[in-house]
Amino acid sequence: MKYDVAIIGGGPAGYTAAERAAASGLSTVLFEKNALGGVCLNEGCVPTKTLLYSAKVYDTIKHAQKYAVKAENPTFDFPKIIARKNKVVKKLTAGIRMKMTEHGVVVVNGEAEIKGRAADGTITIACGEETYEAANLLLCTGSETVIPPIPGLAETEYWTSREALQTKELPASLVIIGGGVIGMEFASFFNSMGTEVHVVEMLDKILGPMDKELSDMLQAEYAKRGIKFYLSHKVTAVHNGEVTVEKDGESFVINGEKVLLSVGRHPVTKGFGLETLGVEPFRNGIKVNQYMQTSLPNVYACGDITAFSLLAHTAVSEAEVAVKHIQGKAGGGMSYKAIPGVVYTNPEIAGVGKTEEELQAEGIPYTVKKLPMAFSGRFVAENEQGNGVCKLILAEDETVIGAHLLGNPASELIVIAGLAIEKGMKAEELKSIVFPHPTVGEIIKEALY
């Protein structure tokens, strides 16, 4: 049978594309070699947030006395925390499979291999002993953990995010190599659970491209909680739990019961016959245009494989753009102007649009409007002795071009600023919006005065 759309990869990009395509009447086949939901649902976004919420509840109970509530000697059941995480993942995976069934998507569990593209554009794909044909192909193969060539690593039993999420026992100490989003979220979780945590980062700041001022504030908060940071340090060797680091020519060893590797991810481009298509590469992934088309017009790429924005919500938007283009409803294509980034630590940190560092590097003039979270009555009521920052960045004409928040619930509030940036709103327009009172979200409006 020949399908209108074939999709390789069942992560956020893949299952979104499959649902949207099938719902619009396009015959659709989806290939997934592991579990539906991809890395995000099975060993990334969702399971880590489930663990982090358990940690947040535990942290809240430990500090209940701040709110005049007595809760003596709180404790937790670590195996049950992991079991709850597995239950959440199982429930959501089942939900995706149900959606695929409802819309008539043919789901094929197995390793798909592209066999070629005919003169009329038809793509041939093999999976197991079956062969499939499709008029359009979406590549949504995602990404995998980067394993750097650190001496001794190959002979060492280390964790990636996968193993960290599967552990049934809480380590007494943990050395995290990489202070990016993944590293900091695991640092937050294990710190809350009582593990001694060390974070080693090659850069001079945690959280890579996120706003430096707020990243530094978050680091200071976690340093108070006992996490030890080693910035501008290079890992030169790993031997079991011994991590050798170097800075300014001096080296020393950090000891940990477990070592977690989180230095980034790279697109999956091998193992499914991509080389038979000869599409144009970009960085370590595939080049696409604004409609997610590769150099072959009926071959699309969405999600991490584009090597541009390795975020699940970006992947979902890209998949929607691709399917609309296949339907002939192109619109304006994919916009990356307001892609929010969130770190689900406690407190959360989120950003969207331009950072000060980016604008300074580009020589673009800007102004900053900034206000402590404590100016929000709701924030003060719910965060005893806590604080944070709302920072808005305006262009010369007062258009909102960046927003960065530290403090709960930054992950929910950042979408307000994202809407303003995407729609090109000026400060006066955003100020004219009526925000409910009392809410933490009011801080976005108040920061503009």
Catalytic site positions = 437
SS3 letters across the chain? CEEEEEEECCCHHHHHHHHHHHHCCCCEEEEECCCCCHHHHHHCHHHHHHHHHHHHHHHHHHCHHHHCCCCCCCCCCHHHHHHHHHHHHHHHHHHHHHHHHHHCCEEEECCEEEEEECCCCCEEEEECCEEEEEEEEEECCCEEECCCCCCCHHHCCCECHHHHHHCCCCCCEEEEECCCHHHHHHHHHHHHCCCEEEEEECCCCCCCCCCHHHHHHHHHHHHHCCCEEEECCEEEEEECCEEEEEECCEEEEEECCEEEECCCEEECCCCCCHHHCCCCEECCEECCCCCCECCCCCEEECHHHHCCCCCHHHHHHHHHHHHHHHHCCCCCCCCCCCCCEEECCCCCEEEEECCHHHHHHHCCCCEEEEEEHHHCHHHHHHCCCCCCEEEEEECCCCEEEEEEEECCCHHHHHHHHHHHHHCCCEHHHHHCCCCCCCCCCHHHHHCCC
